């Protein structure tokens, strides 16, 4: 399995992370005060943040998603065959539950914007950890597949992690640009995307795999 094949797999694995990154970008700029298309966003504390002033808003999701997309194939490569027999019947339910819970909370919070205290930080640790886990569970099976071929696993996970990082970075940027247009509807839209993605994962595993 060569570089191109691994890259194609990496791009496929990163699509869920890309979609979630867009929702994070939407959530982060619900209250944008700058013209549409600006890279200025307002986080939960109301502080204006530009891309080059605080790059963490754009980079942090890529770090989370890239790390877990690299970690899961590594686990699958070395111990996934044993681990997979216990999780293969539950992985889609786990992903669905995590995405549905987080997405449902975003939808609920969208109806209380402006009625309660300041919005919570969309990049809080627990939320990011659960999202990264939910979007990377399928990569376990990819790691098992790698073990069947002549693949340098460390090169493979490096390609996968970096690809996911870059695509996630782009997803957050897309979300911030779109968020300036959706404004107060961004949280609701983001929640719908997460719930829909969790449902898609569940349906694919129950009826097509």
DSSP labels, 26-64: HHHTTT--SPTT-S-EE-TT--EE-TTT-THHHHHHHHH
**Domain assignment of residue 122, yes or no:** yes
- Give the rounded percent of residues in the chain with a pLDDT score beyond 90: 13
Sorting pLDDT into bands at 50, 70 and 90, what band is 32? very low
Q: Write down the pLDDT at residue 177.
A: 78
| Number of structural domains found in the chain | 1
Report the pLDDT averaged over residues 91-110. Answer: 77
Sorting pLDDT into bands at 50, 70 and 90, what band is 71? very high
The residue behind tokens 């990154």 is: 21
More confident residue, 21 or 181: 21
**Domain assignment of residue 21, yes or no:** yes
**Among the listed ranges 29-38, 48-57, 71-80, which one has the minimum average pLDDT value?**
29-38
Report the pLDDT averaged over residues 28-47. Answer: 46
Contact 34, 180 (CB under 8 A): yes
The pTM score is 0.71
Report the pLDDT averaged over residues 146-155. Answer: 83
Query: Is residue 127's pLDDT more than 80?
Result: yes
**Domain assignment of residue 209, yes or no:** no
User: CB-hemisphere CA count at 13 Å for 84?
Assistant: 18
Q: Write down the pLDDT at residue 87.
A: 63
| Structural domain harbouring 167 | 3-203
More confident residue, 171 or 55: 171
Sorting pLDDT into bands at 50, 70 and 90, what band is 173? confident
Q: Write down the pLDDT at residue 54.
A: 56
For 117-183, where are the alpha helices, taking DSSP H only? 125-136, 139-147, 153-182
């Amino acid at each position: 399995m060569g570089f191109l094949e691994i890259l194609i797999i990496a791009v496929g694995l990163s699509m869920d992370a890309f979609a979630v990154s867009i929702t994070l970008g939407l959530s982060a700029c619900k209250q944008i005060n700058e013209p549409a298309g600006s890279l200025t966003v307002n986080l939960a504390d109301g502080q204006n943040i530009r891309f080059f002033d605080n790059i963490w808003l754009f980079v942090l999701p890529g770090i989370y998603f890239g790390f877990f997309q690299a970690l899961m194939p590594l686990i699958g490569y070395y111990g996934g065959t044993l681990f997979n027999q216990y999780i293969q019947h539950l992985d889609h339910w786990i992903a669905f539950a995590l995405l549905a819970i987080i997405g449902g909370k975003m939808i609920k919070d969208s109806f209380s914007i402006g009625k309660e205290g300041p919005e919570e930080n969309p990049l809080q640790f627990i939320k990011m950890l659960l999202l990264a886990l939910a979007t990377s569970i399928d990569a376990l099976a990819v790691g098992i597949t790698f073990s069947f071929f002549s693949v340098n696993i460390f090169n493979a996970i490096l390609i996968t992690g970096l690809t996911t990082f870059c695509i996630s970075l782009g997803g957050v940027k897309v979300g911030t640009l779109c968020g300036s247009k959706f404004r107060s509807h961004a949280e609701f839209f983001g929640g719908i995307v997460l719930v829909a993605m969790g449902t898609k994962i569940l349906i694919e595993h129950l009826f097509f795999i």
